Amino acid sequence: MKKQDGAVTAKKKKITWQVLWKQRYLLLMSVPFVVWIIIFKYIPLWGWTMAFQEVKPATFALPIWERTFVGLKNFAKAFSDRLFVQTMVNTLGTSLLDIVVGTVSAIAFAVLLNEMTFRRTKKLSQTISYLPHFVSWVIIASIAKNIFNDGGVVDTLLGTRLHLMSTNSPLIWVVIVIINCWKEVGWNAIIYLSAMAGIDTGLYEAAEMDGANRFQKMWHITLPGIRPTIVVMLIMSIGGILGVGMERQMLLSNPLVQDHTMVLSWFSYVRGIGSSDYGLGTAIGVFQSVIGITLLLIANKVAGMIGEDKLI
């Protein structure tokens, strides 16, 4: 029995080396990217040690072993901060709206593009839709403020003041999510369009022979065909639910609505760099990353339990 197990193991190792040798050029091509990830993604994790130390401008230049170790004090300080709870609410509220609106709009837009019969119109529409993805948030924010600010384009067209960006309420979340959806919907739809390209065209032909109309083909063939891609994208989105970038929040914010626009990344910047407490800022960032990884693993596990494709 041991001889058979040894033979099986040796055979598996041989097959593995054969596959690696066959794909040697692909592996060599991936080396620069692996090195880049190690240098810029993993080595900086050493900076997480600041979350457990007292790091001020005066002690920042000191070696790690000479700084004062404070344990979980920075985390306790962050959790007891008066802005922490509201910041968490803002982050979760904006992220959940982003996931729902962004996913639904990207899928719907991709389906509509897929149904277009005129090739030139389809390519033109797709190109126009993903161009905003490459535009800076500085420009997007200036355009958005001219549209949604008091007395802006929306108020002028409606003949009334909606106070969309001047009311201290979660209404600003909706404005931010709509602007972000407009900016990213075309880019996000590319992934779903790629998944639709892999669906067997014979399924559509068979459905057409059975008398299915276009809507029925979309509902029973297109959407089920891209379901694994949807699940993977949702898992990745849930993993980054606390990773809302502060750039768009800061640029679209103003003193009237800042209580409902500050998110964790912005909070980390204000308390870390703004207050020169680098240990506290790092602790908030570590908390954000750990919760993100935990949510990613949970979402991945749930997807496997309900029979969907898992990310890991």
pLDDT in tens, the chain (312 residues): 555 566 666 777 778 888 888 888 988 999 999 999 999 988 888 888 889 988 888 777 788 888 888 889 999 999 999 889 999 999 999 999 999 999 999 999 999 998 888 888 888 988 899 899 999 999 999 998 888 887 788 888 888 777 778 877 888 898 899 999 999 999 999 999 999 988 988 888 898 888 888 889 999 899 999 998 998 888 888 888 888 888 899 998 888 888 899 999 999 999 888 888 888 999 999 999 899 888 888 888 887 777 666 666
Q: Which two tokens stand for residue 245?
A: 């970038």
Cross-strand bridge partners of residue 54: 68
E-strand stretches of the chain: 53-54, 68-69
Q: Which has the closest alpha carbon to 175: 200, 150, 202, 207?
A: 150
Question: How far apart, in whole angstroms, are the C-alpha atoms of residue 250 and residue 140?
Answer: 12
Question: How far apart, in whole angstroms, are the C-alpha atoms of residue 136 and residue 247?
Answer: 10
Q: Which two tokens stand for residue 26?
A: 């692909």
Q: Would you give the DSSP letter of residue 54?
A: E
Cα–Cα distances (Å) from 70 to 15, 55, 201, in that order, read: 51, 10, 62
Q: Would you give the DSSP letter of residue 258?
A: G
Classify each residue of 172-181 as buried b or exposed e, where b means 16 or more C-beta atoms within 10 Å of its C-beta: bbebbbbbbb
* Count of Cβ atoms closer than 10 Å to residue 136 Cβ: 10
Residues 6+ positions from 17 with CB-CB distance below 8 Å? none
Q: Which domains does the chain have, with CATH numbers?
A: 2-71 (no CATH), 74-305 (1.10.3720.10)
